[in-house]
């Protein structure tokens, strides 16, 4: 049982680090000089966040400007953005509608499926949210769908907040899904996502398999709350 808990904890803490990575990459801000603050307002999820939390706008605009320039300062800014968006996304995902969170998961899995076929070499970087070449490896149409799904999560979390499920409630259900995966003995599945010796393809495949198995194994009424508990555990708020 402890093994399952460790797997779930590592998975849920690490995968959402790439939320900020995808979020920032989607605007393609580096192509030409633009008004970052104005462009933020064109992204629904960002606009909802800054309307609700205007105090974060200065950091967002400053760090996005640095991130698109690259270099050491850009890398540090990207990490700050990842942490900031992870916190707020986790906060609102935990109280969002079940339908919106499941929709987000579906789009995240679609990206994993796309990356593992077109550029599996970046799967480790993608899951770890480390920046680099991962954003350019993601199909823009799929990324935009994920951003739309993320906006719905944040919108429902802000406007119609639900009671937050606890990770303690979710853990036995997560372990049930993990047991199903282990029992199937899928040769491409690994729980060791961050081992440098793990084949990159296996990382995307395994994370997507976990999400899919949760949806297929658990009763329908538990799927959304389990995902909400997972994402909620990412927030320090």
Q: Is residue 237 part of a domain?
A: no
Q: Is residue 31 part of a domain?
A: yes
Looking from the CA of 9 toward its CB, the CA atoms found within 13 Å total 7
Continuous segment of H or E residues that includes residue 144: helix 140-159
The number of domains in the chain is 1
Q: Residue 131 — left, alpha, or beta (φ > 0 → left; ψ -120 to 50 → alpha)? A: left
Low-confidence ranges of the chain (pLDDT < 50): 1-6, 9-10, 12-31, 131-133
pLDDT at 35: 72
Q: How many angstroms separate the most distant Cα atoms in the chain?
A: 53
Domain that holds residue 176: 2-232
Q: Is residue 131 part of a domain?
A: yes
pLDDT in tens, 41-57: 776 667 778 888 999 88
Sign for the pseudo-dihedral over CA of 151, 44, 66, 61: negative
Q: Is residue 33 part of a domain?
A: yes
| Cα distance from N-terminal residue to C-terminal residue, the chain | 28
pTM: 0.81
Using alpha carbons only, what angle is made at residue 182 by residues 180 and 186, rounded to the nearest 5 degrees?
A: 105
Q: Is residue 212 part of a domain?
A: yes
């Amino acid at each position: 049982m402890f093994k399952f808990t460790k797997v779930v904890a590592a998975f849920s803490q690490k995968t959402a680090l790439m939320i900020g990575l995808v979020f920032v990459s989607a605007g393609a801000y580096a192509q030409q000089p633009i008004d970052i603050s104005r462009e933020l307002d064109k992204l629904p999820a960002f606009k909802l966040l800054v309307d609700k939390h205007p105090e974060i706008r200065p950091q967002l605009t400053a760090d996005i400007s640095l991130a698109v320039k690259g270099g050491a300062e850009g890398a540090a800014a990207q990490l700050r953005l990842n942490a900031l968006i992870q916190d707020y996304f986790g906060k609102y995902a935990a109280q969002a509608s079940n339908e919106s969170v499941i929709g987000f998961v579906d789009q995240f899995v679609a990206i994993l499926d796309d990356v593992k076929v077109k550029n599996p070499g970046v799967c480790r970087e993608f899951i770890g949210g480390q920046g680099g070449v991962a954003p350019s490896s993601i199909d823009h149409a799929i990324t935009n769908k994920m951003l739309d799904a993320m906006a719905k999560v944040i919108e429902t979390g802000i406007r119609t907040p639900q009671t937050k499920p606890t990770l303690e409630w979710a853990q036995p259900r997560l372990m049930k899904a993990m047991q199903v995966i282990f029992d199937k003995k899928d040769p491409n599945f690994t729980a060791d996502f961050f081992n440098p010796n793990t084949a990159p393809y296996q990382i995307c495949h395994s994370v997507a398999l976990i999400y899919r198995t949760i949806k297929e194994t658990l009763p329908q009424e538990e799927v959304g709350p389990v995902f909400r508990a997972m994402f909620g555990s990412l927030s320090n708020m």
